[in-house]
Amino acid sequence: MSTTQINPNLIQVNRYHFINAFPVREDDGFTLVDTTLPRGAGELIAAARGAGAEIKRIALTHGHGDHVGSLDALRQQLGQSVEVLVPDLDARIHAGEKVLDGKLPGQWPKLATRPDVRLTGGERIGSLEVIPTPGHTPGHVSLLDTRDQTVIVGDVFTSIGGLAVSNHFNLRFPLAAIATWDKTKDLESAQRLRALGPSMLVVGHGGPVRNPTQAMDEAIAGAGG
Ligand SMILES: [Zn+2]
């Protein structure tokens, strides 16, 4: 695991060199965005405490196993007072509801944790605004930090080997496209994020991209948009 202070409010915790979670600093402690694979709870809690505060809530960008993997263990170790916020459609998929036709790509583990809040877009989580960005998964959301216009984009983009939209095969990181549910919606979500004019992108897989406008334009063009 490695922990990097990206900016004053944002820490990137990286596991296995390719999966990120993000403690976001708020007045009362951290909002942890995503949880990586299983067996990461201790490291994620230690990363927050090392930065001087407790995890107060956990928000997920989407329901894939490499983002929700340590959720149950975190809930167990931190207790019920930690609020859990999950995209509505992805939570319903976890719960075994048949929310759409056809087979869903990607790994969808069984979770014991039931979300306290189901996200559909437009909500506020402390300083973060929830942006609906479906496509990679049915319920996928991104989180805009209204303090500095940084956006946590989950798996809409990846940045391993350069910024790319997850709607098409990318030799540098093929897992994201293989796991993507609706390629057209995913591209529309990439365009929605571009329209926000973010100051920085942070992604589930790969490093942060500062001043990302040009890289986003190129990635969207490369994705057929
Ligand atoms: Zn994913």
What confidence tens digit (pLDDT) does each residue in 87-118 have? 999 999 999 998 888 889 999 999 999 999 99
Query: What is the chain's mean pLDDT, rounded?
Result: 96
CA of 102 to the centre of ligand 1 (A): 18
State pLDDT tens for residues 73-82: 999 999 999 9
CA of 204 to the centre of ligand 1 (A): 8
Where do we find the tokens 């995209």?
87
Q: Can you list the domains of the chain with their CATH numbers? A: 2-222 (3.60.15.10)
CA of 66 to the centre of ligand 1 (A): 7
Counting as low any pLDDT under 70, the low residues of the chain are none
